[in-house]
Amino acid sequence: MVSLGNVLAYYFCFARLPRKGRILDAGCGSGLFSFVASGAGRGKRADMELIGVDVFLPYLKQALGYDHRIQCSVYSLPFRDKQIDAVVSVEVLEHLTKEQGFTFLNEVERVCRGIVALSTPIGFKSRHESDDNPWMKHRSSWSPQELKNMGYSVRFLPDFAKKGWFFLPFAVIWRLRIPRVAATIIAFKHIK
């Protein structure tokens, strides 16, 4: 299910990514990122090689717009060290157990030689499997501090379901990093 929060998260993550090189969408689902990348780049992504990976084959088959689609687990990526210029992963971390999540973060940092951009909800949001996809269930929650402790720079997106969020300008929530009125963590880490 695509939400306004997911679309915005992809745009904010995309804004931090390079406009050329190998870009990995880890947990690509049905391929929203490829549309965001094409739209934000106004269709000019000739210098970007988009790679989508997902464990759930029915979603992967729907993920059009990628140069390569690979069925695999996000915590066991089939790439050599430092082979990817940037990694984006929107709303994936919470679908893994904590142990799998730490393994996943280590994996994306292992394969990346540029920037990792990811998003995850603040706090635990109960969600069960849907579309016959057992991976849709939420299994963990991640705090901004946990990601900061791992070297990520953290920002927030507002809670669009919460009444009154619009009284605070979006830029204030993003810039001042106000988690009380936020629903989503956007985190970035430069890998050397």
Question: What domains are there in the chain, each with its CATH number?
Answer: 4-190 (3.40.50.150)
Distances in Å between the alpha carbon of 161 and those of 40, 125, 155, 165, 182?
25, 13, 18, 8, 10
Strand 112-121 versus strand 153-158 pairing type:
unpaired
Distance CA 11, CA 186 (A): 11
185 near 158, Cβ under 8 Å?
no
* Residue range 105-147, pLDDT digits in tens: 999 999 999 999 999 988 756 655 556 776 678 889 999 999 9
Distance CA 17, CA 101 (A): 22
Q: What is the pTM of this model?
A: 0.86
* Residue range 146-191, pLDDT digits in tens: 999 999 999 888 766 555 555 555 555 555 555 556 778 999 999 9
